[in-house]
Structure 1
Amino acid sequence: MSPVVVVTDSTAGVRAETAEALGIVVVPLQVVIGATSYADGVDPEASPESVAQALRDYLPVSTSRPSPQVLLDAYEQAAAGGATEIVSVHVSSEVSATHESALLAAKRSPVPVRVVDTGQIGAGTGWAAVAAARAAADGASGFEAADAAQRRADHTTALFSVDTLEYLRRGGRIGSAAALLGSALAVKPILEVTGGRVAPREKVRTQGRAIARLEELAVLGAAAYDVEVTVCHLANESAATGLAGRLAERLADNLGGREIEVCEVAAVLGAHVGPGVVGVVVAPLLPPHHED
């Protein structure tokens, strides 16, 4: 085990096999369906499918951050297992108080904790956590691993298209995209994560055009980088799979044989974006001590 352990939260969508291979500790947020709270990614009642159905059935769905104590428990367990430093990599502080919980927990941790506010949502956070864990496995210090996570997050492109902005509006996560609400029924908005917030990028008239535009923007985001890519969705597997296939062809040189991950968004994110969402995250592979 590396003396530097990476902790992240369930919004990051890090696959279980990836977390196990890299020793990443995933702390769940809470998904509240009706009057019952479930641990995201842990309780089967909080699966993406369950959240999608609850939203379709107009059941109340909300989310909440992990408490500082839950994060502290993760830090203490890592320390008991031999960690001498912890890098805690989290969803943007602009959309979740998870980062605040991590800062509070870090003050009581038995070993030093470096908390990274990725300014990202979903797989953008996940790829940053992976970058930190890979750096730690290669012998990086906590400072170096945290830097690897932050730099990767800063270079990551995260875009998505939703069927409706209603779910984002309900959860208060829509930010400046509220300007689109008046014409939400007439367009399929393309949104991006910028400055840690969800903001409008473009408006198109059909889902087909939205997916095609996501493809073009993802190719632009890859630029000349070697990249890893995630295509995510909620209850829209066919659109996500088709997009991933086309990107695999167009980004073959950038991917260097790496497969594009296709997955459903974490339930806690699905609660805010709603069924039908399709997103793409393009995360450059940056060398250590990369000079921007």
Structure 2
Amino acid sequence: MPSAPPTVRVVTDSTACLPAAPRDASSPVVVPLRVVSGDSAWLEGVDITPEEVAERIRAGERLSTSQPPAQDFSAAYRDLAAAGARAVVAVHLSGMLSGTVDAAAAAGQRAMLPVRAVDSGTVAMALGFAAQEAARCAADGQDAAHVAKRARQVAASSQTYFLVDSLEHLRRGGRLSGPAAALGTALGVRPILTVRDGAIELAQRVRTRRAATDRLVELTVARAQTCARPAVAVHHLGVPERAEELGRVLADRTGVTPVVTPVSAVLGAHAGPGALAVVVAELGGHVHEDPW
């Protein structure tokens, strides 16, 4: 007989870029953000794909994004309570980049069960690894405080680096300051960006895309070598061949098979076509006491 769902459930959002895979009653529940164009809005992962976002941007369409309304979280919490959950840990993208975690917390104040909202301070599979590990703790019978602590631990351990073909999308969307965008594109260099303290910052400048990609490998390998059990992810928008190649190189250099997925449609709207990213997180050193 299948085991009962855990009494603590994890909710995250679609910017976690979780890979498409069968999910069960212990998997994180994903609440989608929206891609917006004029009067139209689409739920990412439901109504629009990253590939469609790339096509629209290449065609000259200007896209924006919006966080889920609090009622979307309320509906998710209500469904989980009806399924037997007794508490929820809501793990979301950086509050510096979106109001999603605030909407999750606001909905939690009116929910039928206690909700702990966690600002991961990051995004993409840095958020995804945190949500997955939190869900594993919940499935192992840990309480909500432990599950939330584990999400914060994995998120804090993560490093994210990415390249974009143009910083204009990030600047226009307010995710990168004008001066930083100007500095990143000065002298024809290729900027390497990172997420630090919840915000997107310029990490390094490299002359060519090839050199920048090589630098992504160096940064990833260096971080993975410091981890007891590293997890690695590669993301892209509209350049699957580059992502697969990067994944093969990282697998060879780190001994870890990376998760390779497109960035979410919402992240793609800000990063633009050609984006390439790597994430490394530490999953080791975590054990659960035998309750018996």
Contact 2:91–2:117, Cα closer than 8 Å, also in 1: yes
1:160-239 map, 5 Å = 160-175=162-177, 178-182=179-183, 184=185, 186-225=188-227, 226-239=229-242
The offset of 1:289, in angstroms, is: 6.6
Residue 30 in 1 paired to residue 34 in 2? yes
The offset of 1:57, in angstroms, is: 1.4
> CA separation in 2, counterparts of 1:19 and 1:115?
22
The offset of 1:288, in angstroms, is: 3.0
> CA separation in 1, counterparts of 2:211 and 2:22?
33
The offset of 1:72, in angstroms, is: 0.9
Residue 250 in 1 paired to residue 253 in 2? yes
Partner of 1:271: 269
Greater alpha carbon shift after TM alignment, 177-186 vs 22-31: 177-186
- Three-state SS of the structure 2 residue aligned to 1:71 is helix
Which amino acid is the alignment partner of residue 69 of structure 2? S
Deviations 1:151-180 (A, max 9, x none): 0000001110111100001100014x7424
Contact 1:231–1:281, Cα closer than 8 Å, also in 2: yes
Q: Structure 1 unaligned segments of length 5 or more: list them.
A: none
Which amino acid is the alignment partner of residue 8 of structure 2? V
The offset of 1:21, in angstroms, is: 6.6
- Three-state SS of the structure 2 residue aligned to 1:49 is helix
TM-score, normalised with respect to structure 2: 0.93
Which amino acid is the alignment partner of residue 267 of structure 1? A
Contact 2:19–2:259, Cα closer than 8 Å, also in 1: no
Which amino acid is the alignment partner of residue 268 of structure 1? V
1:1-292 map, 5 Å = 1-17=5-21, 19-20=23-24, 22-43=26-47, 46-175=48-177, 178-182=179-183, 184=185, 186-225=188-227, 226-252=229-255, 255=256, 259-288=257-286
Greater alpha carbon shift after TM alignment, 82-91 vs 179-188: 179-188
Identity of counterpart residues, as a percentage? 42
Contact 1:234–1:276, Cα closer than 8 Å, also in 2: yes
Contact 2:184–2:190, Cα closer than 8 Å, also in 1: no
Aligned structure 1 segments of 4 or more residues deviating by more than 6 angstroms: none
- Three-state SS of the structure 2 residue aligned to 1:15 is coil
Which amino acid is the alignment partner of residue 179 of structure 1? A
Contact 1:34–1:59, Cα closer than 8 Å, also in 2: no
More helix by share: 1
Structure 2 CA distance for partners of 1:88 and 1:18, relative to 1, 3 Å: farther
> CA separation in 2, counterparts of 1:204 and 1:218?
16
Query: Please, what is the CA RMSD of the aligned residues?
Result: 1.6
Q: Structure 2 unaligned segments of length 5 or more: list them.
A: none
The offset of 1:24, in angstroms, is: 1.4
Deviations 1:200-235 (A, max 9, x none): 100011111110000000111113311111100001
- Three-state SS of the structure 2 residue aligned to 1:153 is helix
Contact 2:184–2:202, Cα closer than 8 Å, also in 1: no
TM-score, normalised with respect to structure 1: 0.93
Paired residues, what number? Answer: 282
Contact 1:230–1:261, Cα closer than 8 Å, also in 2: yes
Contact 1:164–1:188, Cα closer than 8 Å, also in 2: no
Deviations 1:217-259 (A, max 9, x none): 011111331111110000111221111111101111xx3xxx3
> CA separation in 1, counterparts of 2:183 and 2:258?
35
Greater alpha carbon shift after TM alignment, 135-144 vs 280-289: 280-289
